[in-house]
Amino acid sequence: MNNLERSIDWEKVEEMTLALMHLTTFTEGHGEVRSWKGHSWDVLKRLHDRGWIGNPVGKAKSVHLSEDGARRSRELFEQHFVGPLVI
């Protein structure tokens, strides 16, 4: 590895992807939370392996977020992208 190459922190990539998925979440049917799956397939597989999203492989353009995944998605979005409350 030369001085210009750096390794990727995949845990951070997963967090940012899950946080950004919050922007496109919607509720469908019986309260199922879904998000559009326009992200890296490798990262979506990693999120699926963690149990935060359903299996991203298939014809559907969206993916189911588990209860824990939806909660974590919202928390990460607020942590990284929401400013302080202005009174």
- Tokens 């326009």 correspond to what residue? 38
> pLDDT higher for 23 or 4?
23
Cα 47 to Cα 9, 30, 38, 87: the distances in Å are 14, 23, 13, 36
SS (H, E, C) 20-52: HHHHHEEEECCCEEEEECCCCHHHHHHHHHCCC
What are the residues whose beta carbons fall under 8 Å from the beta carbon of 70, sequence distance 6 or more?
25, 33
pTM of the complete model: 0.85
CA-based end-to-end distance of the chain: 50
Given this model, what pLDDT does residue 32 score? Answer: 94
Number of other CB atoms surrounding residue 20 within 10 Å: 17
Domains in the chain (CATH in brackets) are 10-81 (1.10.10.10)
pLDDT digits (tens, 9 = 90+) for 39-74: 999 999 999 999 999 999 999 999 999 999 999 999
